Each structure stands twice: as C-alpha cells, then as structure tokens.
Amino acid sequence: MFLLFANVSFALVSSAKATPPNATDPTLMTYDTYGEPESSDPGWAYDDASSQVIQNVYEPLYYYAIDRRDGPYAAGKTGTFTPRVATSYSYVDVADYNVTYPGAVEHAPGYAAAGEEWLDYITIKYKFYFDIQVGIPFHPGGDGTNWGTLSVDDVEYSFDRELVMDRAGGPSWMLYMYMLNAYGATPPEVDPTWGEKIDYALEPVDVDTIVFNIPTNFPPTVILQADFYCGSILSKAWAQSLGDLDVSLVPGGLGWGNWTYIYNTWWNPASSHLEYDENNDATAPVGTGPFKFSFWTHGSSWSITKFDSYWDGWPSKVIEDPINSDGSDNRVSGYLTTITWNLLESWPTRRTRLLSGTADFSTVDTLYIDQLLGEEGIICHYPYAPLSVTGMFFDYQISTTSPYVPLFYPSGTFGTGGIPPDLFSDINVRRGFAFAFNYASWLASSFLGEGVQPPDAIIRGLPYNRRTEEGGQIYGDKNEEDPTLLGPPYKYYYNLTESEYYLKLAWGGSGANPAHNPALVTPGALWNGGMRFQTTYNAGNVPRQLAAEMAAASVSSLQPAKFFISAAPVPWGSSYLAQIIARNMAFFMVGWGADYPDPDNFAYPSITVLEHSLLGRDTTTQQWTL
C-alpha cells in the first residue's frame, strides 16, 4: 500500500430551503449518499456507511461525551466519556488488588486473587468493572416480538459472540487486542482451551455488574474508545433465535470446553446470522439505542425511526457528560423522528436534489464544494478535517476467479491478455506503481490542495506523526530539527523514470544501478510480456475514481502496446468490501478512519501483515509497497 492523503478537508452540507420536502414535518430527514451499508451486524460491519446505522440503533457501554454548546466542530469530547449501557466503571490493578481507585464500588468478594493466573498462560494485569443499566428496554423485533429488557447476560453475550465470530476483515481484532492479548481466534488444533479463554475474558460479577479481566497494558481510555466502535450491545435471545452463537447447543453439555465445535460452527461464517433480510422482518436489528431499525431496500434506501421508549428520553441533552455537566438536564429544542438514506452515486443528481430541497443532507466530495458555497439555503460546515487516510492496496495472491482480470497466466509468465495471480508479490512492481502516481496533481484536483501525503501510517493529528512537507508547510511534531524526515525517500513521489526503472527490474530484470537509469536495465518478464487488468474504486466516489484512472493511465503510458490497465467502479456495500475479502481485487482503493484517536489504531492495521488484517487471514495478502 502507498498512502495518498490524510486529514483532507471534509464538508457536512445541508439544505435549508424555504420549502423542503419535509416542511410539514421537520422531524423527518433525508440524506443522499453514494455508500450503502455492507451489514447491519455490529460484529460484522467495518465501514462508515454501516456504522451510521449501527451506532444509532445499538449502544456501547460508554460513549464519547458531548457538549452541544460548543458547536459542530468541538461538541464531541474524545478524552471524556458518558455512560450508555453502563452507568459507571472502575478498575483495579491485580498487582495492587486491595486498592480501589476513586469512584470504585464494592463488588462480590473473592473473585480473584492478586497475580491471578488466567488459565494456562495469560496473566491478568487489571480488572475493569462496569455497572450495567439492567432493565432498559430493547427495541421490539421487526416482526413485533417483545425482546424484553437488558441484562448482564446480554452484555457478556454481545462481546462473546463477536470474539467467536471473528469475521475476517471485521472489527473484532480490537477486542482481541486488549481482551486476549491477541489479534484473532486461535484454532482448536493450536489451543483447544481458547473457548474457555473467551469465556473468562468477560464475566458477570452479580446481576448488574460485569468485569473484564484485562491481560494487557492498554489504558482504560483506549479500551473505552475501542468499545465505542466494536462494543455494541444486542439482545442475546434475539441473536440466538436467528442461529447465532449458543454454547448450550454444544454436544455433551461441554459448553466453552469444546472449542472445536464452537470454532467449526460459528467462527468466521460466510455470512452473518444477524444480517438483515428484507424478506424476513425478524432479522431487523434489536438494540437499545435512540433509534430503531425501520427498513432497508438493498440498492436503494434504508431508514431508522425514533424509539419512543428510549431509556434516556427525548430530545437529546445539551450536555451528555456527567463529569462536566452543569447539573441541569437541559434538552435541545427538537429532534428527528426518522432518518432515511438514499443511495445515489451520481453527483449531479445529489446536487440537484440538495439545491431544490428534495434532500436535507448530502455527501459532497471536496472538489464540488465550489458548486454549493454561497448557494441560497445551503448550510456547509467546511472545512472539517477527519482522522482518515486513503490508500491504494496491492493483493499478492489474487483469486483466479476475479472478474477484474480477463486471463490468468502461470506465475512468472506475462502477456497482454492478463496477469499471473502473484503479480504484486514482486516488490519492484509495487515500487513501479507507487512512483507512477502523481500525488500532487491528484491532491490538487480532488481535494483542492487541502490533503496531505503522509510519510507513514501515523497521520497528522495523531501523536508521534513524522514530519512531512506540503506546499512549503511543515507538518508534524517529532524530531523538529531532523531534515532527513522531510519528503523522499521516506515517501513516494511522481517520477516516471523511477517507475520505468523498477518495472523493468520486476520479474527477473537485471542491471540495477545506483543512478536508477532504466536504460541500463535488462528488462524482466513483465516488461517484455505485458499485463492487462482493472483497478477498482467504489462507485460514486469521484476522488477515488480520478485516482484509479490516473494510476491506470500513468502505468499504461510506459508501455502503451503492452500495458493495458483500466479503472472499474464497484458498488460499495453490496460488493466492494466482499470482493476485497474474496481476494478478487488486484489493485484497489480503500480508506481508513479512526476507530479510536490513537496512533495504534493506524499503525497496527497499516503496517503489520497478520492474519487479521483488512484483507483477511492469508498472510500472502500484503499491504505495503516496502
């Protein structure tokens, strides 16, 4: 992978026309976008479009604190938290077990001894207690079933089923990271006690308290941040009614003791048991959030509606932070009862609907901002810099069923009809592609010069980001006096001579030289034989479309008679992410937004190549150019 940009400006755009479509009912909101959710299952989904629904329907133990008096740019507080499913928390170091931290509550005695050994090799570092809002109501099922109220069993189950499912390309690695000091499930032939480890990682203490036995040094604040994304609490009874994890069904009554059965039955399924099926109302998500699931017409639109029995009441509070609250229970002046998203990949269509007031909100790529700023009735929060980065990825072992490669040759064999499945396993191919991309031109055209090409995975806005220079401005806060940390060779740059040099060296070329002179290289099989395939981007995302087309045209220009690379759009939720996991995409674009605002959340997924990377479990699926 070579990183393209980070911290680009982003716009939140809404219409305030005098006669919007919902003028008779301002509690209805319409949102036009080009990204459909991939999944309604919080243990499966790992994309922004899905999370917009999931984080309104489900709730974690804690949420980021909010003070709406601070306006749209500063309302969210990433350093403080407010209770949602939980009411309070406390933690105790095992090494100092008899000392409780300020605000800690008494729990059932004798649960653990100092220095407790957890099964055969995991040593608990500290215990993280949560008091749970037992009795708050779940949403009714889509078929009208009453799923009752929340219990500690629902909380324990919500984490257990995500750890067991451990979907390739899903969010469970964050739970594994701090709950089991791992990044995914261990197969039974390697560790037959893994199920028991999952069971002991999170345990009810009494009817309204649960404890995480933490074997890592991750601070509680990071755990709370990670749980915000991957700690959604759902109804155990509802999930098991759809065939999800149920250890009571393990033969012989062995429960967690038969990890082989659990692993073979519920680990990494081909599809989620909790996936919404528009032909089966019983599959509608069941959470405790302020909104309940309404409908999802795949490929068209999806909607959530106000949950009248929401435990925290309506409307939202002005301040949702018990620590910094002024003591009042002030509420905002109004609220939405229905939010409906429409899948519209065409920007002209979204623009027309927004300007006419047909849509209340719209996804607007930065390059189109000038078409909206100053228009009557348009409200634009701009610029807004998220913690996000986009990259182009290479797959080292492409599936031979890929629809984006017309013909597969044996490894090491090349021609103008296709490519071998391991094309990008040669580092010189990856370097050749990286040098063929015009980063500055793309940032200028797609982001109006407001993006940054970072030198590594820890992007601007995070601690420990490395210095980089863009447009004469130096960004970064480490090693301020070290000029070697500026620009190349620490990041790639546009240079077709370098690209030609590396592509000639690829697959058996010889003649590497200090001057990187391609004329001195005896070309290898790739340069002599050629290649043909499609690079991919998610349909409707114009900046990624431009990047894919630019990369394809640039590499193809080096050998017009032998290199045939084109760009293909792929629908986001219904196909794109699944095609990545299936190893069908040879060279593709995808973004990464912060799960939690810590360098670890960017460094680990981007740099390591382990079995639980974005691309699944196969260690031959690499991400980095170098």
Residue at 176 is within a domain: no
Does the pLDDT value for residue 5 go beyond 80? Answer: no
Residue at 287 is within a domain: no
The C-alpha atoms of residue 149 and residue 202 are separated, in whole angstroms, by 20
Question: Which pTM value belongs to this model?
Answer: 0.87
Residue at 125 is within a domain: no
Give 542's pLDDT tier (boundaries 50, 70, 90): very high
The C-alpha atoms of residue 162 and residue 60 are separated, in whole angstroms, by 13
Q: Torsions phi, psi of 236, nearest 5?
A: -60, -45
Residue at 459 is within a domain: yes
CB contact at 8 A, 364 and 34:
no
Residue at 580 is within a domain: yes
Does the pLDDT value for residue 167 go beyond 70? Answer: yes
Q: Which two tokens stand for residue 387?
A: 């913690």
Give 230's pLDDT tier (boundaries 50, 70, 90): confident
Which amino acid is present at 31?
Answer: Y
Does the pLDDT value for residue 596 go beyond 90? Answer: no
At 100 the pLDDT is: 35
CB contact at 8 A, 499 and 433:
yes
Does the pLDDT value for residue 164 go beyond 60? Answer: yes
Q: Is 113 exposed, middle or buried (0-12, 13-18, 19+ CB in 10 A)?
A: exposed
Q: Which CATH number do you get for residue 443?
A: 3.10.105.10
DSSP state of 396: S
At 15 the pLDDT is: 64
Give 125's pLDDT tier (boundaries 50, 70, 90): confident
At 618 the pLDDT is: 40
Residue at 294 is within a domain: no
Which domain does 496 fall in, by range?
388-607
Nearest to 182 by CA among 93, 114, 121, 97: 121
Give 126's pLDDT tier (boundaries 50, 70, 90): confident
Q: How many residues does the chain have?
A: 626
In terms of pLDDT, which residue wins out, 464 or 372?
372
Range 447-461 average pLDDT = 81
Residue at 429 is within a domain: yes
Q: What is the per-residue pLDDT across 329-372, written as a single tens digit (0 to 9) for each?
A: 678 888 899 999 999 999 999 999 999 999 999 999 989 989 99
Least confident of 405-419, 444-458, 479-493: 479-493
CB contact at 8 A, 255 and 247:
yes
DSSP state of 613: B
Total number of domains constituting the chain: 1
Q: What rounded mean pLDDT belongs to the chain?
A: 84
At 13 the pLDDT is: 67
